[in-house]
Amino acid sequence: MLERIELAVVPAEAAAIATEAYIVVDVLRATTTIATLFARGLTSLVAAGRIELARELAANERRLLMGEVHGLPPAGFDFGNSPVEAAAAPVAGRGGVLFTTNGTAALCLLAGRGAVFAGAAANATALAAHVAAHYASATVVCAGNAAGARFSLEDFAAAGMIAGALSDAAPAAALGDAAALARHTPDLADLIGLSEHANVVRALGLGGDVEFCARLDTSAAVPMVVACGDGWARIETV
């Protein structure tokens, strides 16, 4: 049963926290897209941090190729990094590769230190229920901006939503300082839409993605890292 909940505002902080489970949050838009793709029936996904690697993995393993550069899918990609698009995508029974930089870097940094999951507001309750039932400690990790070097308001807000779901699932669990701050910050869903990154996404005409990423529990998927290598992490659902 879960006894302690921590929150790391950047991945480097998470690496200094000893914990049994890490929940990586890149809410706009990678981990929301991941939770949504698995809800649609995707069988496995490889998060890749380099576009050349993403193309190579998709071709060699006959996977769907997804991701974005400056917010939009590059030429030759099957889908972008859009949860709205993912919610209607015909991906059941297929494998995928998602090109994403911040999220992949955080997943790979923490792989091997404990169990690593991909989390968002979209799958907060399902993920919290699983983690609370199987681990004594958990750290929610904001993927951040600038390759994880800078604070991200939207990731902090979504991490707070997950910390709240963990606390609801395990009311006796102690909260670290950042987790307590996020847990008791009001209007977390609204903060996602107030972030700088949200404004960038809206400017691309993808405001629907911002709204989608702020919604709680649109997916019951619990995506977990099952293997990791140089610049990639393979994810499957529990």
Q: In the prediction, which pLDDT does 123 show?
A: 98
Hey, CA dihedral for 137, 148, 194, 47, is it positive or negative?
Answer: negative
Q: Write out pLDDT tens, residues 196-221.
A: 999 999 999 999 999 999 999 999 99
Residues 6+ apart with CB under 8 A from 229: none
Number of helices (H) and strands (E), helices first, in the chain?
A: 11, 10
Instruction: Please name which of 100, 175, 101, 137 lies closest in space to residue 23, comparing C-alpha atoms.
Output: 137
Q: Write out pLDDT tens, residues 112-162.
A: 999 999 999 999 999 999 999 999 999 999 999 998 999 999 999 999 999
The pTM assigned to this predicted structure is: 0.97
Instruction: Please name which of 147, 140, 151 lies closest in space to residue 10, comparing C-alpha atoms.
Output: 151
Q: In the prediction, which pLDDT does 221 show?
A: 98
Q: In the prediction, which pLDDT does 18 show?
A: 93
**Phi, psi (rounded to 5 degrees) for 16:** -95, 0
Domain 4-237: top CATH class: alpha beta
With beta carbons less than 8 A apart as the criterion, state whether 118 and 24 touch: yes
Mean pLDDT along residues 5-18: 96
Instruction: Please name which of 150, 110, 142, 127 lies closest in space to residue 233, comparing C-alpha atoms.
Output: 110
Residues 6+ apart with CB under 8 A from 88: none
Q: In the prediction, which pLDDT does 122 show?
A: 98
Q: In the prediction, which pLDDT does 113 show?
A: 96
- Find how far residue 26's CA is from the centre of its chain: 4
What pLDDT band is residue 6 in, cutting at 50, 70 and 90?
very high
What pLDDT band is residue 175 in, cutting at 50, 70 and 90?
very high
Q: Is 186 helix (H, G, I), strand (E, B) or coil?
A: coil
Among 5-9, 45-49, 144-148, 208-212, where is mean pLDDT lowest?
A: 144-148
Q: In the prediction, which pLDDT does 68 show?
A: 95
Q: Write out pLDDT tens, residues 58-100.
A: 999 999 999 999 999 999 999 999 999 999 999 999 999 999 9
With beta carbons less than 8 A apart as the criterion, state whether 208 and 37 touch: no
Mean pLDDT along residues 161-190: 97
Instruction: Please name which of 135, 191, 130, 132 lies closest in space to residue 161, comparing C-alpha atoms.
Output: 191
